[in-house]
């Protein structure tokens, strides 16, 4: 699969800064100290940036650059809001069935990447599933806000929505810089790729030695600059409370991404229904509790975590052979299955 990268900065945003000194040196001494910055303004999740710098001002300047680039990706991929001066995924959806929409080249590159990944995964990862996923989103939001009204989406409505999906309904013209959904009922949903792809575009050209955690999509630009040691990333226990880990992996450069049934869900008649929907069955995948991917490319890691969650292990292993990466599958009974390369990355 051809990998596409873009490297354009974005806009600034308001952030909450949390810093912690590791060492007692004074500013300008040349010793590096560890800082963290946290934001809740990106991709409807919490973003944490960790880096080393001589002082807080130096750290803040570099972290701000990361955040403003991530913000622009957030705005480009947003299907719920529009922004002045930006034609984004929502703009494309609002103009479905109409004229082509002029968009930033980064959005066309993402959609071309998404089309290739859809082909490689047999349609398990498909950003044109918006019409069908909207039925689940609305049912889930109702169930979360008003549990007494919780219900599954209507099966007939799901089938009808699937008629308005598929890359044959999406026209991408990189030379003209336009995107068009030919079906007025079709829509994009970039949720399966947006965070990982954005992290790759931003971290892929950033200086070494930083760690970006974009709502669980963890991307490292290199080992820790203080001693060259890897970052340690905990893999959440599906039955835990968010701080309970089944194991931790070493990460020097690249990404760790997990898809799990515990991340976004609601209950109907005592049964949980999560957000990872199999386009073949129109229902949440039930093969695994979680799948974690290690890959040098964060965008591929994001897509692969979703695809392997919806596949049996044999299919998943075949896809890893094609696209690279390592995986850990956690089954319903808590059993863990890992590819050979994943196992050696677990911290013992």
Instruction: Note the pLDDT tens digit of each residue in 102-111.
Output: 999 999 999 9
Cα separation, 240 vs 253, in Å, equals: 27
Q: What is the 3-state secondary structure (H, E, C) of 164-204?
A: CCCHHHEEEECCCCEEEECCCCCCCCCCCCHHHHHHHHHHC
Please tell me the CATH code under which domain 230-348 is placed: 3.10.520.10
- What are 321's two structure tokens? 């052979």
Q: In the CATH hierarchy, which fold is given to the domain comprising 94-181?
A: T-fold (1.10.3980)
Residue 251, pLDDT > 80, answer yes
Phi, psi at 122, each rounded to 5°: 65, 30
pLDDT band at 348 (very low <50, low <70, confident <90, very high): confident
Cα separation, 32 vs 207, in Å, equals: 15
Could you state, in order of their start, the residue ranges of all structural domains in the chain? 94-181, 230-348
Phi, psi at 273, each rounded to 5°: -125, 115
Q: What is the per-residue pLDDT for 216?
A: 87
Q: What is the per-residue pLDDT for 21?
A: 33
Cα 280 from chain centre: 21
Q: What is the pTM of this model?
A: 0.88
Per-residue pLDDT of 139-161, as tens digits, reads: 999 999 999 999 999 999 999 99
Which DSSP string do the residues of 219-246 spell out, in sequence order?
A: EEESS-TTT-PPEEEEEEPTTS-SS-EE
> Which residues are CB-contacts of 56 (< 8 A; sequence separation ≥ 6)?
17, 19, 35
CA distances (Å), 183 to each of 92, 97, 169, 188, 306, in order? Answer: 11, 5, 6, 11, 26
Cα separation, 216 vs 254, in Å, equals: 14
Among 263, 132, 248, 247, CA closest to 195: 263
Mean pLDDT of 117-138: 97
Q: What is the per-residue pLDDT for 29?
A: 53
């Amino acid at each position: 699969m051809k990998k596409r990268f873009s490297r354009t900065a974005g806009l600034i945003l308001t952030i909450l800064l949390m810093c912690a000194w590791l060492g007692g040196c004074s500013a300008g001494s040349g010793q590096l100290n560890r800082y963290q910055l946290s934001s809740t303004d990106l991709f409807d999740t919490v973003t944490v940036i960790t880096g080393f710098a001589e002082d807080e001002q130096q750290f803040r300047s570099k972290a701000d650059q990361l955040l403003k680039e991530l913000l622009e990706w957030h705005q480009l991929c947003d299907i719920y809001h529009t922004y002045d001066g930006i034609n984004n995924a929502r703009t494309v959806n609002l103009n479905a069935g109409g004229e082509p929409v002029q968009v930033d080249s980064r959005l066309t590159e993402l959609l071309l990447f998404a089309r290739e990944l859809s082909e490689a995964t047999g349609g398990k990862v498909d950003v044109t599933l918006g019409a069908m996923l909207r039925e689940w989103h609305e049912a889930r939001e109702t169930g979360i806000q008003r549990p007494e009204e919780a219900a599954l989406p209507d099966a007939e409505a799901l089938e009808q929505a699937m008629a308005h999906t598929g890359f044959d309904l999406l026209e991408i013209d990189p030379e003209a810089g336009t995107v068009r959904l030919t079906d007025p009922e079709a829509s994009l949903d970039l949720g399966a790729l947006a965070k990982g792809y954005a992290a790759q575009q931003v971290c892929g050209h950033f200086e070494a030695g930083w760690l970006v955690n974009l709502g669980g999509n963890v991307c490292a630009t290199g080992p820790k600059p203080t001693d060259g040691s890897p970052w340690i990333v905990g893999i959440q226990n599906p039955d835990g409370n968010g701080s309970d880990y089944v194991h931790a992996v070493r990460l020097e450069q690249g990404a760790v991404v997990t898809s799990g049934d515990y991340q976004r869900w609601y209950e109907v008649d005592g049964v949980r229904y999560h957000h990872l929907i199999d386009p073949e069955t129109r229902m949440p995948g039930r093969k695994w509790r979680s799948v974690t991917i290690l890959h040098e490319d964060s965008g591929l890691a994001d897509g692969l975590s979703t695809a392997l969650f919806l596949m049996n292990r044999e299919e998943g292993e075949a896809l890893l052979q094609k696209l690279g990466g390592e995986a850990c599958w956690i089954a319903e009974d808590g059993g863990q299955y890992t590819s050979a390369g994943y196992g050696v990355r677990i911290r013992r």
